[in-house]
Amino acid sequence: MPQSPSIRENVNWNRRVPRLNMWLEFGTSIVTQLSFIGLGLSRTSAIELSRLIPEDNLDMDAALQRLREMKEGTNLSPIIVSEVRRMLGTAKTA
């Protein structure tokens, strides 16, 4: 008779399975975009910013730092620029 997987096997398996529900909720599986959304930016802004910031695996602290380092003069929509400025004005220092 086959044995049920152990708790340890289940935990290891769960760590390997992608968080599909989160990806569906936010509409992305790219870590940097998820970090931008976690910082309070809209999905649209996150997608546009990720076109300017090539790293796709930034955590929230690194994403916040990259936003602080961005120069003026990007070809972003004024709405996105305003959203980023507003977020940076309220973001806690890491």
Q: pLDDT tens, 3-59?
A: 565 555 555 555 555 565 565 555 666 788 888 988 999 999 999 999 899 898 899
Q: What is the pLDDT of residue 13?
A: 53
> How many other C-beta atoms are found inside a 10 Å radius of the C-beta of residue 79?
12
Look at residue 94 and tell me whether its pLDDT is greater than 90.
no
Ranges 31-35, 63-67, 90-94: which has the least confidence: 90-94
Separation of alpha carbons 6 and 82, rounded Å: 51
Q: What is the pLDDT of residue 75?
A: 85
